[in-house]
Structure 1
Amino acid sequence: MADNQHSLYLVAYDIADPKRLTRIHSALKKQGLPVQYSVFIVVLKRKALLRLLARISTLINKREDDVRCYHLPENNEADALGRQFFPEDVMLFTNGVNRIWIQH
């Protein structure tokens, strides 16, 4: 993975304090797309990801909070069960950028 290429990441968090939770959610919402209450998909270049994680690091309490970031492969399969964030006719896909496709 080159530093100048966009990659897909899954960021999940468990924040103990409601104020910190709001700050983390706001910081991630500026960079990514929420797919569940505490789970975001972001598509960023490596340097931008490191800046985002450094910003989050200043907002959390490292003794009480848990934030995880996973690099996802480009061609990954995912199964979803239960209530979904997106309606059935909306899909998130990437080829270097965040996109939402709405089927009409």
Structure 2
Amino acid sequence: MGTRRSNAEHAYVVAYDIADPKRWRQVFKTMKGYGQWVQLSVFQCRLDGGRRIAMASILESLIDRETDHVLMLDLGPAEDVDLAVESLGKAFETLERQAMII
């Protein structure tokens, strides 16, 4: 994925397959700081370019490149994304824009 330095937020789906339970927990805890947990190893995120780069850098430092896999699916500008999600079972909730206090 190319490096985007824009301040415009994009919507992402991040999914991961981590072989080691300890690394999986580290990735899960990291992802909780960047998006909303959707399913076991899937998060939805709204990120500007800087936060996407920061997230990818942290994830890169946590995973084993030989056995683990992280997918970051860029759905496009968050303001333009109209998610069409079919959810079976528990209801799916989209991630709304929220103010972040740092």
Offset at residue 43 of structure 1 (A): 0.5
Question: Which has the larger share of strand?
Answer: 1
* Divergent runs of 4+, >3 A: none
- Single out whichever of 46-55 and 67-76 deviates more from structure 2: 67-76
3-state secondary structure, aligned to 2:7: coil
Unpaired runs of 5+ in structure 2? Answer: none
Aligned equivalent of 2:11, options 8, 13, 26:
8
TM-score (norm 2): 0.79
Task: Tell me what 1:102 maps to.
Answer: none
CA distance in 2, matches of 1:84, 1:2: 36
* Equivalences, count: 93
Q: Where does structure 1 lack aligned partners over 5 or more consecutive residues?
A: 100-104
Please give the secondary structure, in 1, of the residue aligned with 2:13.
Answer: strand
Cα RMSD of the aligned pairs, angstroms, is 2.1
Q: Quick one: which amino acid aligns to residue 43 of structure 2?
A: F
Distance 1:70 1:76 in 2: 15
How far residue 17 of structure 1 moved from its aligned partner, in angstroms, is 0.2
Aligned sequence identity (%): 29
